Every structure is written in structure tokens, then in C-alpha cells.
Amino acid sequence: MIRIQGLTKTFGDLLAVDDLHLEVPAGELFGFLGPNGAGKTTTIRMLTSLLRPTAGDAWVNGFHVVHDAMEVKRSIGYLPENPFLYDKLTGREFLHFIAGLHRVPEPTRTHQIDRLLELFGLTERADDLIESYSQGMRKKLALCSVLVHRPKVLFLDEPTNSLDPRSARLVKDILRELCRQGTTVFMSTHILEIAEQMCERVGIIHQGRLVAVGSLEELRAGGGRADASLEELFIALTGGPEVAEIAAYLREG
């Protein structure tokens, strides 16, 4: 569902993403990990046709991210880390607005919106203005908005930020079920425990380059550490020995 060949992005003298090659099959929950500034969000913005690559090619659901940009946008759901919501709309109005943009027909639209509001525990507040929502409620409404048109591919940037543990667990369960139904999820997160629990494979990007990709078992084998956690592997690949020593010291303390 996602195929990337030599994807590169520069901003002046800054090489943000450097010759990225990657494939993600249908139905996979793929974790995209890296330190701040590693190139995660830039990569996602190129794959969602919001940012034009400097070089290379990528296809999402069979559509080229540059030549077929509108088709890409129609077939995906994209949740940025800080989604924009219209505060003067109610939650229900906002979802109807998004569904209309994606041309979801009635009565499918109303049924899907009611189902999502109930699933995310927002039914009682659905007719309140979004400006009255807490950060967690806003994140759940944003998640509803990227699912309302039943996209085949989801790009999620920090999807569990601002969520309480119960809501975060709900999101994890929903994503697993979507993948079982054939949806592809490309997820960026800083919470390595979530990636370790949820993702079938992860890719680790560092200074714009993909330095590792595979299942946890494959990463362990590649690093020669059969019992290493994802956090330990991540630090070894991106932080160097000094960072690893600090992390070990803090855990012991």
C-alpha cells in the first residue's frame, strides 16, 4: 500500500530526508520512529501529498504522491500531531463537514458519524461547541474525522498524545482492528512502549536516513541483542553510548 523509492527532501542546505526506501503492505501497522528533527513528519507530509519531494518517488494505494496528489488525499486519513479543528462548530457538525468533503453519501454519513461518536465516548458532547472540549476530547474528535470516510491508509503523527490511559488503549484496540480488516496504518510516535506493543514492524530514521527496519525480533537479531527492548535498540541506533549510559543510570535510580 505504501512504496517509497529514493525519497529525498532538502530545505536549502538542510537535508531533512535522505534517499528513503521502504515498502509497507496492506493491513500492516507500521511504526515510524526517530528522534526530534530526524525527518519523521517531513516524510509523512510527503507521503500525504502535502509536501513535494526534492527527489525520489512514492506511491500510496497505487497513486503517485506528486502526479496523483488528489487521489492520494481522497484515499487516506491523516492525523497531524496538532490537528486543526473549527472551534465554532459542534463535534457533530465538524464530522459532517469532513464527511462532506470526502463525499460520503447519506445515510451512510450519519450512521458512520453516530458510530464513531459512540465508539470514542463523545456522544453526550457531540452537540457542544468544540471550543469547550478538553485536549483529550479534541484528539478523539480528530481521530473520528480521519476515520469517517473509511480510508484505506492512515497516517498518524503521535495519535495517543493528550489521551488518558483508557482512551489510549481504546485507540490501540481500534487501530489493531482496522488493520485486521485490511487498513494500512503508518504511525509516528515517541512512545516506544506503544510502538513495541502495537506495531508489526518499525522503521527507525536518524538524521534523515532510515537506519533500521523490521520486526522487534529482526531488530534484535540485527543488533546482536536477543533480549533488548525497543527502547534499548532505539538508543543504540540513534543516541550513542553516552545516551545509553544516562538512560541506564536513570532507570537504576
* Tens-place pLDDT, residues 116-144: 999 999 999 999 999 999 999 999 999 99
pLDDT tens per residue, range 13-30: 999 999 999 999 999 999
What's the rounded mean pLDDT across residues 180-191? 93
Residues 193-243 have pLDDT tens digits of 889 988 999 999 999 999 999 999 999 888 777 888 898 899 888 875 545
Q: Is the pLDDT of residue 70 over 80?
A: yes
Same structural domain, 185 and 227: no
Range of the domain at 135: 2-214
pLDDT at 115: 95
Residue-wise pLDDT tens digits, 107-118:
899 999 999 999
Reported pTM = 0.89
Q: How many CB atoms lie within 10 A of CB 240?
A: 10
Are 62 and 187 in a shared domain?
yes
Per the structure, how many domains does the chain have?
2
The verdict on 157 and 242 lying in the same domain is: no
What value, to the nearest 5°, has the Cα angle with vertex 63 and ends 3 and 187? 50
CATH code (residue 195): 3.40.50.300
205 plus 84 within the same structural domain:
yes
Residues 121 and 227 in one domain: no
- Do 118 and 36 belong to one domain? yes
**Residue 135 and residue 183 in one domain:** yes
Q: What's the pLDDT at 251?
A: 56
State residue 241's pLDDT score: 52
- Of the candidates 168, 158, 141, which has an alpha carbon nearest to the alpha carbon of residue 44? 158
Indicate if 228 and 208 belong to the same structural domain: no
Same domain, yes or no: 248 and 160 = no
Q: Same domain, yes or no, for 207 and 251?
A: no
Strands 153-157, 184-188: pairing is parallel
